[in-house]
Structure 1
Amino acid sequence: MTRPGGGVSGVLGVDSGGSGLRVVVAVDGGRGAVAPLASKEPVRTGPRGIDANHMLQQLVPMARQLMADAGVGTLRAVAIGAAGLTTLGDALRAELPSALARELGVRRLALVADAVTAYTGALGQRVGAVVAAGTGMIAIGTDLKSWRRADGWGHLLGDCGGGSWIGQAGLDAALRAHDGRPGGSARLLARAEEMFGSADALPGRLYPRTDRPAVLASFAPQVAACAESDPAAAEILAAAARHIADSAAAVCPAEGDAASGEVQVALTGGLFKMGDPLLVPLRTALADRLPYARQVPAAGDPLDGAVRIAVDLAADRLTLPRDDSMLHVVAEAMDATEVPEGA
């Protein structure tokens, strides 16, 4: 929809995580998105949680460039998916609405936990559960009345079945073999020494690292590579599958939505690129724990989810449960003439 002097209207989707910031503008009700821009610098956290000023310093220039590239003069809505929003998002909720209104003219804003954008990218506005797994692991589900989440507690307290968990279990099996303790794996020991040097030096290489979860997760593909011929590696992945299925079952609604009656379960995130060594036992575990739910491919990723939320917010059809910590919406009334055609 074109406005006099305003150009084409669009929406902005943002995915802020541990690897940086990804931003995209979409036009025509979510179609015709221009290529996203990305920053490899993660948004900082401090005493007040996620640093709103640091996010703005990165986000505003990228948004302006994308709007210019797409010929977008007006943003109907913005959705920002942010890792840590649930527990560290107070500054974002307090500062971003007025700052984005001032800098970009934003009148409708959704601040969204990254698990919710992962859910929406995978399933849209449907009843079900989504497991998002990479270095960490979290499961989220909804009956479209409220949200439920399981795990996502970080590598020291949880993230069971995620990349850092698998990597740590693999290194444990390697060191067991080094010591001659039961449950060891000579294959994993050889892989660990190829990656990190001698087993005796491993603590010194690992413990001082501030990026320890990512370092642990970097060993997870080695566990998958050994699983076909190594019983210890295969059991690690089978245990990971059981943990993931347990989390999915903890959040998955027992009944489907009114329209279809169906409950869907989807997997999203880089961990599942390991393929069959993890996916085969995981599909079996999900079928055992959630026999009533249909396993479906994820339709998109968290950035797709942010765009979908922004599009639905702009068109007044966002039916996902509102929650100050998970899906916080700030919206002014929109004139009917501003609703996009076909929305």
Structure 2
Amino acid sequence: MPGGAATHVLGIDSGGSGVRVGVARADAYGGYAAENPLTGPPPLTWSSSTPAVVGARGIDAEDLLARVLPAARELLHEAGARRLGAVCVGAAGMATLGEDLRTRLPAALADALGVRRLALAADAVTAYAGALGQHPGAVVAAGTGLISLGAVPEGVMERVAARGAEGLGGASEPDDATGTGAPPGTGGAPGALRTGGAPGGGGAPSTGGPSSTGAASGGGAAAPRGDTRWAATGWRRADGWGHLLGDCGGGAWIGRAGLEAAMRAYDGRDGGSKPLLARLEAVFGPATGLPGKLYPRPDRPAVLASFAPEVGRCAGEDPVAQAILRTAARHIAEAAEAVCPRLESSGVALTGGLFRMGAPLLTPVREELAARLSGVPVTEAAGDPLDGALCVAAALATDELRLPRDAALLSVV
């Protein structure tokens, strides 16, 4: 590709359900995911339902490259790309399984595609970017598992803190990193800290799990009203600890709770659900055979999650199923509350296949979020993780990337 201004960017999304590749114009995500992020033609995409191989060094870079490079070349040719400005690779397990990717991808992509700007991101980060762009807020990504990620883009807290010294509420500068203003429906004065939600407003301590980035406390106030949660880093994480230690409210959690209620009904114990028992037997066969079908499976979380839609289908007639979803909604809202910055332009986005369950889950989730994060708008995700990878790549290509750098979550080489 000859030199000159970047014309296109490449995004790669490697997850548990497969690998996807996308090519978009470098200017297609104008202002890096503002209110309507896609300002150009839709990206060209390729997908495979086979996940990347995981070996002794984590995600196998050679296997991933062998599949995505031919697809990328074909998409770039089809798009008429003259110069590839940047690449973003978003991968499930990047933080703990990304050693081989971090070691081999920079040189390999430079040799194969001539690209010198590469972002390596956890899939939670690309889910965040696809959902909210560079606006402050929180994203709950829920499928088989569940993780919540909150972010304050670079420069936001400094501007809010500076304005806070002069008195909040009168600033005219937007507090998002792109200068595009708050997302639709936020209302209020840009830059003002929220005082609703958890007791103590912006100073409320996190109630979720430990942060993978070490941002918990200490380090001096980085924001007005004593909220020090963002002093060490611009990212906060809650849950995502797997089906044995967490992922509370996710698909495997809901499915397991539903199956337990079914087995209680089979035994005649309190808390049982005959409708869920009927669905268990319709899906898996006799209840007594379920342990033998479940415990030997290496994909137990996925098997458990496959029963979550049955819980949703029973919720309209079964108070036990309804209570399971209400508890799941509370866990989801707790995870969002733990990571959401209390800024006037903050929003919460819900993304992932679990939310396709619809009203049986979404209605209690929205009620719980309204109670815990009063005034924070809950929005549909603007895009998916592949859109997020393309957004990050477009911002990197144009020197507009403001999402915080983090060795485990988002690194740029």
Structures share fold, TM-score greater than 0.5: yes
CA distance in 2, matches of 1:251, 1:55: 32
How many residues get paired?
323
**Which of 237-246 and 19-28 deviates more?**
19-28
Name the residue aligned to 1:23.
21
Q: Does 1:80 align with 2:168?
A: no
Name the residue aligned to 1:10.
8
Q: Does 1:66 align with 2:75?
A: yes
Verify the 8 A CA contact 1:8 1:71 in the aligned structure 2: no
CA distance in 2, matches of 1:113, 1:217: 22
Q: Does 1:92 align with 2:101?
A: yes
Q: Does 1:314 align with 2:323?
A: no
Name the residue aligned to 2:212.
none
Name the residue aligned to 1:115.
124
Identical positions, percent = 61
Name the residue aligned to 1:274.
357
Verify the 8 A CA contact 2:145 2:251 in the aligned structure 1: yes
Name the residue aligned to 1:210.
298
User: Which stretches of structure 1, 4 residues or more, deviate above 6 A after TM superposition?
Assistant: 5-8
CA distance in 1, matches of 2:242, 2:389: 23
Name the residue aligned to 1:341.
none
Superposed counterparts of 1:119-134, under 5 Å: 119-134=128-143
Q: Does 1:301 align with 2:384?
A: yes
Verify the 8 A CA contact 1:24 1:33 in the aligned structure 2: no
Name the residue aligned to 1:338.
none
Name the residue aligned to 2:318.
230
Superposed counterparts of 1:41-52, under 5 Å: 41-52=50-61
Name the residue aligned to 1:285.
368
**Which of 129-138 and 41-50 deviates more?**
41-50
Deviation at 1:292, TM superposition (A): 3.9
Matched position secondary structure for 1:36: strand
CA distance in 2, matches of 1:22, 1:242: 32
Matched position secondary structure for 2:403: coil
Deviation at 1:28, TM superposition (A): 4.9
Deviation at 1:33, TM superposition (A): 3.6
**Residue deviations 1:44-65, cap 9 Å, x none?**
1122111111111111111011
Deviation at 1:326, TM superposition (A): 0.5
Q: Which amino acid in the other structure matches residue 41 of structure 1? A: T
Deviation at 1:27, TM superposition (A): 1.5
Q: Which amino acid in the other structure matches residue 172 of structure 1? A: E
Deviation at 1:9, TM superposition (A): 2.6
Deviation at 1:211, TM superposition (A): 1.4
Name the residue aligned to 1:337.
none
Verify the 8 A CA contact 1:155 1:165 in the aligned structure 2: yes
CA distance in 1, matches of 2:297, 2:410: 33
Greater fraction of residues in helix: 1
Verify the 8 A CA contact 1:7 1:71 in the aligned structure 2: no
Verify the 8 A CA contact 2:2 2:83 in the aligned structure 1: no
Verify the 8 A CA contact 1:263 1:292 in the aligned structure 2: no
Matched position secondary structure for 2:87: strand
Greater fraction of residues in strand: 1
Q: TM-score, normalised by structure 2?
A: 0.76
From 286, 289, 307, give the equivalent of 1:219. Answer: 307
Q: Which runs of 5+ in 2 are unaligned?
A: 29-39, 155-233
Name the residue aligned to 2:110.
101
**Residue deviations 1:135-188, cap 9 Å, x none?**
110000012251001111111111110011100100000000001111000000
Q: TM-score, normalised by structure 1?
A: 0.91
CA distance in 2, matches of 1:7, 1:88: 34
CA distance in 1, matches of 2:47, 2:380: 25
Name the residue aligned to 1:336.
none
Name the residue aligned to 1:339.
none
**Residue deviations 1:182-222, cap 9 Å, x none?**
10000000000000000010011111111111111111000
